[in-house]
Amino acid sequence: MKTNDEVLRELKNKIRRKSMAYKTEQNYMQWARRFAGFHSGARITDMGKQEIEEYLNHLVNERDVASSTHNQALSALVLMFRDVLGKDTSNMKLDYAKKSKSLPSVLSKREVKEIISAMPDGRAKRIVWVMYGTGMRVNEVLRLRITDLDFDNQSIYVRKAKGAKDRVVMMPKVLITMLRNQIGRAKEQHRKDLAIGEGKANLPKALKDKYPNADKEIGWQFLFPSDNLSQCPRKGTTHRHHLSSSTVNKAIKRAKWRCKIDKRVTAHTFRHSFATHTLENGCDIRTLQQLLGHKHLKTTMKYTHVLEPQKTASPADSLMSEVA
């Protein structure tokens, strides 16, 4: 009979074999440990539907978690029971929480310009420009490598985005000079790393095996490198990772305060704003779906709901003009 530590170790190996993101690995392992801790003293191998539902009820009733958090916890437990313990989770009839249909927070074009102008020149500001100019997610921008920029075709290649899919987005003309300058900064940092015996990019093993010296080539370095070298949590090797999303969000928050904008603004808000403004400019919904990398058209359709009220006149306006 497997111990709980053995089950958790197998879950981590399963997650890595499925090439799931490191952030997903962290979240899933955290939920599995919390589940085991909630049923303190019991073996995970002896548990089933009843124990899963007891834990999910605890999350909903006592922790008051959001539907997305509930669903993430359930996904982690389903992976553990189905793929590690070999149990038939389809017969357990476990219910995922219904997601709330909230509309995205969108900035006006004036607000976008004010926030970006209020940010000091630096990587965070350039990253926000790329998000608003292309509709990319913040982590997609952060994971860009120099080789992903195609200046001849004015395109940017987004590798292994959400759903492990690649896509191509436009490279705005207004950003070309800025991106070239950023490459120059990344090259200078890479030159310094090589001088101290570092400068190896963190590449997938298959690519590293095929091209042994590729990790030192400039094309595989991150476009927006971090200030410090760090250790890969999976391999234990030392690399210069990319800038963190928290750094970008903190810079946005400070700029928002300077502009006295009361809306909730995060890095993702600039993706929402790109989508809405692109529709305003006449882009068709299918093209926007491809640019955003949405699997389902209904996900993209939410941006049309943001625009609808703007196209409809309120009877209060006509009433006041008639009374006047």
Active site residue 185: no
Active site residue 240: no
Residue ranges per domain, the chain? 4-92, 109-307
Phi/psi region, residue 99 (left: phi>0; alpha: psi -120 to 50; beta: rest), is: beta
Q: Which amino acid is at 237?
A: T
pLDDT, tens digit, for every residue of 88-128?
Answer: 998 888 889 887 777 888 999 999 999 999 999 999 999 99
pTM (2 d.p.): 0.84
Residues 6+ apart with CB under 8 A from 293: 158, 161, 162, 163, 165, 167
pLDDT at 209 over 90: no
Active site residue 58: no
pLDDT, tens digit, for every residue of 52-89?
Answer: 999 999 999 999 999 999 999 999 999 999 999 999 99
CB 278 within 8 A of CB 170: no
Active site residue 271: yes
Give the angle subtended at the CA of 248 by the CAs of 26 and 171, to the nearest 5°: 105
The fold adopted by the segment(s) 109-307 is: hpI Integrase; Chain A (1.10.443)
Active-site residue, from 70, 137, 200, 240: 137
Lowest-confidence region among 7-21, 157-171, 282-296: 157-171
Mean pLDDT of 18-36: 93
Percentage of the chain with pLDDT > 90? 71
Active-site residue, from 39, 82, 87, 162: 162
Active site residue 162: yes
What CA–CA distance (Å, rounded) separates 243 from 185? 14
More confident residue, 316 or 273: 273
Q: What is the pLDDT of residue 264?
A: 92
Active site residue 294: yes
Burial pattern 142-154, b for ≥16 Cβ within 10 A else e, equals bbbbbebbeeeee
What CA–CA distance (Å, rounded) separates 131 from 259? 19
CATH code of the domain occupying 4-92: 1.10.150.130
**Average pLDDT in the chain:** 91
Residues 6+ apart with CB under 8 A from 118: 255, 256, 258, 259
Active-site residue, from 123, 242, 256, 271: 271
pLDDT at 309 over 80: no
